[in-house]
Structure 1
């Protein structure tokens, strides 16, 4: 039997009602995808949010859909921050509304404009297509800051799971290309390393789970199949040899999940490069625990701590008037 951290007792009780499986294949993916593509209307119900849907041409002409969400009412006197959101789903499922309740909390707390990107999914899209879509949407956002009424100096890139990995990838891209400026990156249980060889990956292998080592292997294989050449660090950010020059970074994960060790290693390497990173490993948290069960005590603590960090960071950068 594999020795591994146990689940938080409250979360374990909730997880008992969730159908789990040890792996993922093309047939199972086809069945799961419709349920992973979340509708937006229930998320916006009861919230004072103005919503605008647009489509922009991608780098190769493929259309990229963006959802623009802002607090309802008159425009504020000071340009608000922007949260550029990248959804999770193992790079093979989900849509731009997945886990959107996380940045919507920041819309309500900080008056942030939330822009969520619909990137192409594997296995239909492979290689750099996913991260290229996300970067292109970010570049468009920064380039249209005046039109959007946002502060271009306070764009925060954030994502969960696969979205966390893609957020890390486009932050590396922005650093290397010199544009656009990013104020912070928030990486929530990020999918950072295609090698899938960490201790935590091996600990959560074989048994049914929310996201197992076998599922992770399927997700990465779907992205990399048919992709020629060396895997770029923009696709698998753990490969980046240099993590200097990155914006303030928040990384969190559960202790009982595949991505625990790659998350901790990424933060440690930012520190080693002289950067600023906050790392939180939540004891007993499984992958995506705070998105699946936001009202659970551990989830509420994780979400509150994350929001408090972002609030402090935004307070350090006063909005222009």
Structure 2
């Protein structure tokens, strides 16, 4: 039944069916038809949106970054709170009241139960005991190796809140792998700002030592995290889950070690080569001392000159041989 509403200016605005018009006294056998019209009109859009929202209560953390996984659950909590507020709206309460008055208890209880809102809110709230205040920005904004190392300790300390959350261990393992991808990216940003093969060796060694400390910190924290994950799995009586993490920064760690070894070898070889070159120059100069004299002059004076030149040459060669033994 349509209704028209008259405005203060006397205009008439055509309206659609209202709750009042739909519940006009009728025969008992017609009541079902009226309620079939009433429920979709008042609840239709909200319940449909709700179903779609709750249907998306699933996400694979492997499909994106760690911050996307964290923000997904934080946003989901806000979305569910918004849906809860919608369900407390006057039009919803009025409709459910009408249904209760008409003794349509099954419809009322069914609607409230079918939303699954309470269970979903509980699930998300428990997940967010881990996600709230997650200190990932400490890593993403770290400007140097010391800050990256410090951020890892902070992050893994926060991950211990997994004991207080119901966030699945399987998802937690994938989340840690996503954090490893963030670590890899941040290391590349910091290292990429340096021309590693052109740096002074002392500065190069300093940053390489910092990188090695970062990798050691990761390994130490991962070992402890795996122990926690195994313990939680046991306490939850979950089915067996292999506690395995494949760090995204493994290849970068290998390359950093290789580059460091190359530069170390070069630094060790360079002074040796310089010494050899200097020795060759010294031998060359020593040879000049015997090259320019009359080697066939066997007179007393000629013999004296020869002996001086020979002694100078032998002393030089002896020094070079002694240095070679030290190389």
TM-score by length of 2: 0.24
Higher strand proportion, which one? Answer: 1
- Rg larger in structure: 2
TM-score by length of 1: 0.24
**Which is bigger in relative contact order (C-alpha 8 A, separation at least 6)?**
1
